Amino acid sequence: MNEYDFTLKFDFQNSQADPNDYIEQLHESGCDDALIGVGKKGCIALNFIREASSAYEAISSAISDVKKVVPHAVLIEAMPDFVGLTDTAKILGCTRQNIRNLIVKSEPRSPFPVYEGTPSIWHLAEILIWLKEDKTYLIDDSLLEIAKTNMDFNIARSWQKIEPDLQENIMDLVT
């Protein structure tokens, strides 16, 4: 069993719902390994440190635990996944400038950002894989596994927004 550290953000699909009403129920239904945060009305974030045999098992069981209490909850984002240079540096314990230099000096072999702008945003998993394979950085396997799995959940969530009759055509165009 490995320990996985991740955060899940949910929308309750009801702006009148008060996430505070669910905190005790979430704790009792299996989310006792999470710090629960409420901010925006109708939304909740849970930071888990969960033991499981895989990152997928940890994340999927956490989502199921939340949906047992709030069946209409919709996953907004699984984290860590989308990161900028500062986030990446913090996760890896180095400076932002170090990460920037690695990416700039390694173009075009460095990972492509999901969003190129100010700031640019990448999938953490793609940066970690690149650092591990191309730059021979020692990357924690559970961090890489959780980043890959979160990326998969976030991509699947985004894919649902595509018109079903266009999905096959779009897949053909991007592969």
Q: What confidence tens digit (pLDDT) does each residue in 9-36 have?
A: 999 887 676 777 889 999 999 999 999 9
**Quick check: pTM over 0.75?**
yes
d(CA 56, CA 73): 19
Same domain, 61 and 109: no
| For the chain, percent of residues with pLDDT exceeding 90 | 78
- DSSP codes joined into one string, 85-133: HHHHHHHHTS-HHHHHHHHHHTTTTSPPPSB-SSS-BEEHHHHHHHHHH
pLDDT score of 158 more than 90: yes
pLDDT at 101 over 80: yes
Is 168 part of a structural domain of the chain? no
Considering the domain architecture, whether residues 59 and 90 belong to the same structural domain is answered as: no
Report the pLDDT value the prediction gives residue 149, as an integer from 0 to 100.
98
Q: Tell me which residue range forms the domain holding 89.
A: 82-139
57 with 24, same domain: the answer is yes
Question: 33 and 97: one domain?
Answer: no
pLDDT for residue 21:
82
Q: What is the average pLDDT value for the chain, to the nearest integer?
A: 93
Residues 55 and 95 in one domain: no
Q: Choose one of 35, 64, 79: the last residue of a domain.
A: 79
Position 87 in a domain: yes
Residues 6+ apart with CB under 8 A from 150: 6, 55, 59, 78, 79, 80, 81, 124, 125
6 and 69 within one domain: yes
Residues 99 and 69 in one domain: no
Same domain, 53 and 73: yes
Segment among 65-69, 72-76, 102-106, 151-155 with least mean pLDDT? 102-106
Residue 173 domain-assigned (yes or no) = no
Identify the band that residue 151 occupies on the pLDDT scale cut at 50, 70 and 90: very high
**Domain total in the chain:** 2
Is 18 in the same domain as 51?
yes
Mark whether 89 and 29 lie in a shared domain: no
- CATH number of the domain where residue 71 is located: 3.30.70
Band (71; pLDDT cuts 50, 70, 90): very high
Please indicate, yes or no, whether residues 21 and 64 belong to a single structural domain of this protein: yes
Q: How high is the pLDDT of residue 87? A: 96
111 in a structural domain: yes
109 pLDDT higher than 90: no
Residue 15 pLDDT: 61
Average pLDDT over residues 134-155: 95
Tell whether 73 and 8 lie within a shared domain: yes
